[in-house]
Structure 1
Amino acid sequence: MATFIADIWAPIDYRVAANVSLIYVAALTTIFVLLYGIRSNWRANQVGRTLFAKSVVLPFVLWQIVLATWWDTDFPYRQQVQFIIYSLGAVAYVTMTVLLWREQQSDRSEKK
């Protein structure tokens, strides 16, 4: 919000501002994963394990985007890195979707 207000008095380069915000998002998701992984009992159940796996993938996606944004879109092994990260994300979300569906089915059958 402060950036939009500052734009009234000073020219703002929103491309740079967005790229800096991307670094913040990547850093904060990384901090979340570290705190969740170290301080939470995510191993206690399947939901916790699945959430942790998904949470680990997101910072990798974001840091890969940060690298491409600030350094070079064709950094070494970029295509291989993208393939691994995006494939892990797809596997994590398939797992989460199946788990969610099973939990919902279980809840519905318990209500009957």
Structure 2
Amino acid sequence: MPQPAETSPATRKARRKEGARRRAQRWRDSRAAERAALQAAAAEAEALRTRLAVDGALVDALVERHRQLRDENGQRAPALPLGDVIRLARRALSPALPDAEAAIRDRLGAALQAASPAA
């Protein structure tokens, strides 16, 4: 006696295979999403590392230039020329960061834009 189509062994096997295929696809999709999230976090961490390196180099350059001008002029708070600060920061960063000048200019541009009054 033939079995109904919905309960036949071939139908049950096909349903099991389809369910297994769907589970495997969901697993692959979730792993791909996790991988994409990790890559985005790594890119954000790298950008932050670059920004922190630029900030550190700028601060070190400012302090060093301040000390030099203070020693030369005998003034407690001499004015700092920005071009010298950029040059010193670029020199400090160049071994660690190949595109130091662009990173410094981007960071200074962002800082100057944030410091300017909103129009």
TM-score by length of 1: 0.33
The higher relative CO (CA closer than 8 Å, separation ≥ 6) is in 1
Larger Rg computed on CA atoms: 2
Query: TM-score when scaled to structure 2?
Result: 0.31
